[in-house]
Structure 1
Amino acid sequence: MRPGDRAVALFVVVGGFLLGFLDFCWIKWLPFPVAELGNSTATWAVAAFFFGYWVRSGRVRAALGAAVLLVVAVPSYYLAAALLQGDDLAVLWAPTSLVWMVFGVLAGVVFGTAGTWARGAGWRQVVGVALPAAVFFEEAARFAGKATDPGYSSGAWWNVAIDLALGLLIVGLMAGSHRRRALTAATAVPLAGAILVSFAVAGGALSPTG
């Protein structure tokens, strides 16, 4: 059953707050390499995807709701940093925070829509499931690049393995038949490349926390 508008609005606000606040706690208190899942653009994008998947129908509602979800999560993250780590509250409205809110709008629209597509059929269902897998594959590629840098921790290979496993898990659980899984995985690879190029154009691989 499709959730009502009030349930969606409540989830957007509460879910966005919890996403940002708990994400900071995850990074601060969990050990490496698991902590890197919090400091991850893929994790936030996939949260928007599953919001759209939960909404079930209404691509505009899913896109707008997912965008608001991620926008709310940004100041919530910085609020957690101020309360739990003593950071300056001014960071909530600093340019970095505003930039991440803009990225949140873009990611929310794309991945919220993908979540509704994942419940459909045909090429939209393939692309819808491939997108969340692609962000994990793209992040795995970035970690692989860091792992080859002598000045970076060799533990980055753990992050490569985790991201690849999560991407494949999404495909395996959501794509359906073996043929559809293979098609979805094949679609996710060029999408991951496009996302990687987008990060390069935007100025490098940034974490959702700035």
Structure 2
Amino acid sequence: MTVDRRAVAIGAVLGGFLLGFLDFVWIRFVPYPFAELGNSSAVWAVAAFVFGYQVRSGWVRAALGAVALLVVAVPSYYLVAALIQQDDISVVWAASSLLWMFFGVLAGVVFGVAGVWARAAGWRQTVGVALPGAVLFAEAALLARRIGDPDYGGGRVWSVVIAATLGVLLIVLVARTARRRALALAAALPLALVGFAGFLVAGFG
């Protein structure tokens, strides 16, 4: 199936604005514990995966589109924050925003490609299906590590449960057979360890 590159570009930019807007609104108005999904780096990675999965094009186009999606979502989030709760607009171009955009580039490439691989065959399909679940498992492990830590408000048990459950559900929904689900779940565990280490190296610990 051929996908027009202009449609991919427009979809990535509009999707990025929508992701940033919805993320802030979700955090602001959805009650605990589900509101914390808005603070989830894994959820943004899953958004990049969904973009790559829906594009149904080559991995390069999917990766570039997913990168654009996540990079645009960062200033979109802060612009909405400035509009709704009068946050300082200068945050849009602050160093912290640029850092989040950098993480968006990395996540966009990895998970945009994973979305394409999830429609492939062989080991690529297994890894592609496993990756979005793995990043949610990694975040669940990170959240579990914070339980009891006063710097994080003592941690959130329900946040751990929700992230892990979403990881399983995502794999079950994307994989189309019981065998593929089993393979993806098995692959997701070591990938989650890699993701957990990546979170720690990036300073999310």
**Superposition TM-score, scaled by structure 2 size:** 0.95
Aligned-residue offset at 1:154: 6.6
SS at match of 2:70: helix
Is 2:12–2:69's contact at 8 Å kept on the other side of the alignment? yes
Distance 1:190 1:148 in 2: 26
Aligned-residue offset at 1:3: 3.4
2:59 maps to a residue whose letter is: R
Q: Name 2:159's counterpart in structure 1.
A: 159
Distance 1:156 1:184 in 2: 27
Q: Name 1:33's counterpart in structure 2.
A: 33
SS at match of 1:32: coil
Deviation sequence 1:44-99 (CA, Å, 0-9, x none): 00000000001112100000010011000000001011111111111000000001
Distance 1:2 1:63 in 2: 16
SS at match of 2:116: helix
1:34 maps to a residue whose letter is: F
Is 1:2–1:55's contact at 8 Å kept on the other side of the alignment? no
Distance 2:179 2:18 in 1: 37
Q: Name 1:64's counterpart in structure 2.
A: 64
Is 1:33–1:155's contact at 8 Å kept on the other side of the alignment? no
Q: Name 1:8's counterpart in structure 2.
A: 8
Aligned-residue offset at 1:173: 1.4
Q: Name 1:55's counterpart in structure 2.
A: 55
Matched residue count = 205
Unaligned runs of 5+ in 2: none
Aligned-residue offset at 1:33: 0.7
Aligned-residue offset at 1:151: 6.8
Q: Name 1:169's counterpart in structure 2.
A: 169
Flag the 1:203–1:29 CA change in 2: closer, same or farther, 3 A.
same
Aligned-residue offset at 1:152: 5.2
Q: Name 1:85's counterpart in structure 2.
A: 85
Deviation sequence 1:133-169 (CA, Å, 0-9, x none): 0011011111212224367557711111111111111
Q: Name 1:94's counterpart in structure 2.
A: 94
Where relative contact order (Cα < 8 A, 6+ residues apart) is larger, the structure is: 1
Deviation sequence 1:98-140 (CA, Å, 0-9, x none): 0111110110000000000000110000000100000110111
Q: Name 1:208's counterpart in structure 2.
A: none
Q: Name 1:200's counterpart in structure 2.
A: 200
2:196 maps to a residue whose letter is: L
Q: Name 2:121's counterpart in structure 1.
A: 121
SS at match of 2:39: coil
Unaligned runs of 5+ in 1: 206-210
Distance 1:146 1:192 in 2: 17
Distance 1:166 1:146 in 2: 19
Distance 1:96 1:5 in 2: 31
**Superposition TM-score, scaled by structure 1 size:** 0.93
Distance 2:148 2:87 in 1: 33
Among all aligned residue pairs of Structure 1 and Structure 2, give the percentage whose two residues are the same amino acid. Answer: 63
Is 2:143–2:155's contact at 8 Å kept on the other side of the alignment? no
